[in-house]
């Protein structure tokens, strides 16, 4: 393994108090997709917005980093719904002024290794359906019933979003309508909904083969989120041309053109509140920035458990509300570099999902309980193969990423230690986990043995260090049916001037976080003022 060199890929402007403008209309904490979308949309209607990001680069989970001549994304492996002028695509185009381009993955965008069997998901509504029927010829009617349910839930998803921006009294008034428009299956467990259609456990496993995209296995996850993800990728997977850092890089100019800025190394220590009204933020260097509007995209755990003064979080009931939700599972990622191209090595533009057997819930429970149990899921992505521009930036090389869940407790004893200096025991644990993950890679692609030039493993502590998720969470709050029904996870908070955005107020995923930005701006401006902007974006 070659020696570690620091990343050179940095987006955003380094924070210094003397670089701040005299006044801002709004401060956004966190430069992930939720924060950037909110800031860009407000800039579009004339607001001057200051985005404060604690990391050395902007983008949140869409950031990339470079080391030793390789480049990896950290939280974006594929996006759906951007191959046609959908709402998702129109919004990306608008935010990036048309600069973001999307490269399609292979027609087989996901491959599922379930025990000894291999299955796949293929692009296109008909292609997806026919491919499932080809793999399970006796299950045609169950598959068609499943496709019908996806359609029904799809129609109800926007109502769910609308419910989030309504004022409490409006929500109460609209409750019967919302209930009427909500299919019964929405908040039922995914497994329960599917087992009413079929008892073929392999078919259920294949349909739920993307459970890692939300981090909750089928016996615990809400069908709504399952359906949202399945629909999102129905027309295939896409990757941002030039790498996932292009997302922040192409949105920031919109924020700057409104007089705003995206600052990095800008760690917010506290949200300042006087008499239940926000008055700004205090940075960790002690500098205070006055502003009557603060939008937190730092996740609700950070917002209510760390950024808000304890007394305010308690008196407004948020400390109690936080008891109803829990963090999503922590994760490992093995970042790998090779000195040959994806073509030389025969790497596909397909994600691999590797499962020990078809009972995903049991596999996860076993893994959480015992250090001896196999990984419940191992996900392998080939980012450089998906990016048609990669070889222009890093000629003659390839990258691979392997993601797996990891209980935080395994790493807890090193909490608070410094990244890169956690000692021999920590390095030994990482080495052992890396070897386990590599064994999965070699099992599926034996031609890679002996070809790896560099690898490094991130743990939940690395995610805490760089992305400020306190338990190394994959997706912010856990996506349980109970979480989706928390009526306080809305853009508007109980504190005047404080707003929320990001994956916790809607759902995870880059698109989920982006849509949360639309919800937040809608709640802030009101339907009447936001309408012309929505018309401009969506037509
Ligand atoms: C390994 C992995 C793979 C994924 N793969 C995909 C995928 O293929 N497709 C997909 O659609 N989604 C994927 N996701 C999910 C997706 O990346 C996230 O759901 C989404 O990007 C979250 O956006 P966000 O804006 O809500 O939060 P984030 O992107 O996490 O942004 C929050 C930001 O707040 C900052 N912050 C926190 N505290 C402070 C503070 N005190 N001061 C200043 N800044 C602060 C953080 O540093 C962070 O940058 C993946 C996630 C992970 C972890």
pLDDT, one tens digit per residue, over 297-343 is 999 999 999 999 999 999 999 999 999 999 999 999 999 999 999 99
pLDDT bin (cut points 50, 70, 90) of residue 444 is: very high
CA distances from 406 to 3, 307, 328, 419, 463 (A): 26, 26, 11, 18, 12
Instruction: Indicate whether 213 belongs to any domain.
Output: no
Tokens at residue 532, please?
């012309």
Ligand 1 close to Cβ of residue 358 (< 6 A): no
Tokens at residue 137, please?
């010829």
Rounded to an integer, what distance in angstroms lies between the CA atom of residue 32 and that of residue 501? 10
Instruction: Indicate whether 429 belongs to any domain.
Output: no
The beta-strand segments (E) located in 169-328 are 238-240, 261-264, 268-274, 277-283, 288-290, 294-296
40 alpha carbon to ligand 1 midpoint, in Å? 17
CA distances from 385 to 142, 348, 525 (A): 35, 7, 42
- Of 524, 532, 400, which Cα lies nearest the Cα of 49? 524
pTM beyond 0.85: yes
Provide the CATH number for the domain around residue 494.
3.50.50.60
Instruction: Indicate whether 134 belongs to any domain.
Output: no
Q: How far is residue 441 CA from its own chain's centroid?
A: 24
Least confident of 392-401, 478-487, 500-509: 478-487
Residues 6+ apart with CB under 8 A from 367: 373, 374, 375, 376, 405, 407
Radius of gyration for the chain, computed over Cα atoms and rounded to the nearest angstrom: 22
6 pLDDT above the threshold of 80: no
pLDDT, one tens digit per residue, over 156-187 is 887 777 777 777 777 777 777 777 677 889 88
- Of 509, 245, 508, 230, which Cα lies nearest the Cα of 387? 245
Instruction: Indicate whether 170 belongs to any domain.
Output: no
Rounded to an integer, what distance in angstroms lies between the CA atom of residue 248 and that of residue 48? 18
Rounded to an integer, what distance in angstroms lies between the CA atom of residue 399 and that of residue 383? 6
Ligand 1 close to Cβ of residue 242 (< 6 A): no
Ligand 1 close to Cβ of residue 236 (< 6 A): no
Cβ(182)–Cβ(175) under 8 Å? no
For residue 141, how many C-alpha atoms fall within 13 Å in the half-sphere facing its CB?
Answer: 4
Ligand 1 close to Cβ of residue 263 (< 6 A): no
Candidate of 39, 53, 65, 75 to mutate for ligand 1, largest count of ligand atoms within 8 Å of Cβ: 75
Portion of the chain with pLDDT greater than 70, in percent = 99
Ligand 1 close to Cβ of residue 75 (< 6 A): yes
**Paired strand residues for 222:** 189
447 pLDDT above the threshold of 70: yes
Residues 6+ apart with CB under 8 A from 454: 1, 2, 67, 68, 70, 336, 337
Portion of the chain with pLDDT greater than 90, in percent = 85
pLDDT, one tens digit per residue, over 68-115 is 999 999 999 999 999 999 999 999 999 999 999 999 999 999 999 999
pLDDT bin (cut points 50, 70, 90) of residue 1 is: very low
145 alpha carbon to ligand 1 midpoint, in Å? 34
pLDDT computed for residue 372 by the predictor? 86
Counting the structural domains of the chain, the total is 1
- Of 47, 386, 91, 104, which Cα lies nearest the Cα of 250? 91
SS3 state of residue 406: coil
Atom 3 of ligand 1, residue of closest alpha carbon: 75
Ligand 1 close to Cβ of residue 517 (< 6 A): no
Atom number of ligand 1 nearest to Cα 475: 19
Residues 6+ apart with CB under 8 A from 267: 52, 54, 283, 284
Instruction: Indicate whether 153 belongs to any domain.
Output: no
Q: DSSP secondary-structure letter at 299?
A: -
pLDDT computed for residue 537 by the predictor? 97
Instruction: Indicate whether 247 belongs to any domain.
Output: yes
Instruction: Indicate whether 50 belongs to any domain.
Output: yes
pLDDT computed for residue 2 by the predictor? 40
Overall average pLDDT of the 419-427 stretch: 90
What is the span of the domain harbouring residue 320?
Answer: 13-60+243-325+486-538
Instruction: Indicate whether 367 belongs to any domain.
Output: no
**Paired strand residues for 331:** 405
pLDDT computed for residue 3 by the predictor? 45
Overall average pLDDT of the 42-51 stretch: 98
- Of 315, 312, 320, 317, which Cα lies nearest the Cα of 278? 312
Candidate of 510, 515, 519 to mutate for ligand 1, largest count of ligand atoms within 8 Å of Cβ: 510
CA distances from 480 to 228, 230, 407, 487 (A): 14, 17, 18, 14
Candidate of 61, 240, 401, 508 to mutate for ligand 1, largest count of ligand atoms within 8 Å of Cβ: 61
Residues 6+ apart with CB under 8 A from 376: 217, 355, 356, 360, 363, 364, 366, 367, 405
467 alpha carbon to ligand 1 midpoint, in Å? 7
């Amino acid at each position: 393994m070659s020696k570690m060199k620091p990343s050179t890929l940095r987006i955003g402007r380094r924070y210094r108090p003397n670089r701040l403008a005299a006044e801002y209309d709004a401060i956004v904490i966190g430069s992930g997709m939720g924060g950037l979308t909110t800031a860009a949309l407000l800039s579009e209607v004339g607001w001057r917005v200051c985005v404060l990001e604690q990391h050395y680069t902007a983008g949140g989970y869409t950031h990339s980093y470079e080391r030793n001549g390789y480049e990896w994304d950290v939280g974006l492996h594929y996006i759906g719904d951007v191959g046609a002028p959908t709402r998702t695509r129109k919004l990306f185009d608008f935010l990036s002024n048309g600069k973001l381009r999307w490269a399609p993955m292979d027609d087989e965008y996901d491959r599922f290794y379930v025990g000894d069997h291999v299955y796949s998901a293929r692009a296109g509504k008909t292609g997806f359906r026919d491919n499932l029927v080809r793999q399970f010829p006796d299950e045609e009617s169950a598959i068609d019933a499943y496709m019908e349910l996806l359609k029904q839930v799809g129609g109800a998803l926007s109502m769910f979003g609308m419910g989030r921006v309504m004022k409490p009294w409006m929500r109460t008034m609209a409750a019967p309508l919302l209930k009427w428009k909500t299919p019964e299956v929405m908040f039922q467990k995914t497994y329960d909904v599917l087992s009413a259609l079929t008892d073929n456990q392999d078919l259920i496993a294949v349909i739920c083969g993307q459970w890692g995209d939300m981090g909750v296995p089928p016996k615990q996850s809400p069908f709504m989120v399952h359906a949202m993800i399945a629909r999102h990728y129905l027309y295939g997977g896409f990757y941002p041309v030039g790498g996932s850092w292009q997302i922040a890089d192409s949105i920031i100019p919109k924020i700057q053109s409104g007089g705003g800025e995206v600052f990095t190394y800008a760690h917010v220590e506290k949200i300042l509140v006087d008499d239940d009204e926000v008055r700004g933020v205090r940075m960790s260097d002690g500098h205070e920035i006055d502003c009557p509007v603060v939008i937190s995209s730092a996740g609700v755990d950070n917002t209510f458990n760390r950024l808000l003064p304890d007394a305010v979080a308690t008196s407004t009931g948020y400390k109690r509300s936080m008891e109803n939700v829990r963090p999503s599972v922590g994760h490992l990622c093995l970042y790998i570099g090779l000195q040959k191209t994806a073509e030389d090595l025969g790497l596909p533009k397909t994600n691999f999902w590797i499962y020990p057997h078809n009972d995903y819930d049991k596999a996860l429970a076993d893994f959480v309980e015992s250090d001896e149990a196999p990984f419940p899921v191992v996900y392998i992505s080939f980012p450089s193969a998906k990016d048609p521009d990669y070889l222009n930036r890093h000629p003659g090389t390839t990258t691979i990423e392997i993601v797996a869940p990891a209980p935080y407790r395994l790493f807890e004893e090193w909490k608070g230690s410094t990244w890169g200096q956690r000692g021999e025991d920590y390095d030994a644990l990482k080495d052992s986990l890396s070897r386990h993950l590599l064994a999965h890679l070699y099992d599926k692609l034996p031609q890679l043995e002996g070809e790896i030039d560099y690898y490094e493993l991130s743990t939940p502590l690395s995610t805490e260090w760089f992305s400020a998720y306190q338990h190394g969470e994959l997706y912010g709050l856990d996506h349980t049916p109970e979480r989706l029904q928390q009526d306080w996870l809305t853009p508007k908070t109980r504190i005047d001037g404080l707003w929320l955005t990001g994956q916790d107020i809607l759902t995870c995923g880059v698109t989920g976080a982006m849509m949360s930005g639309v919800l937040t701006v809608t709640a802030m401006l009101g339907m009447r003022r936001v309408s012309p902007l929505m018309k401009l974006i969506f037509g």
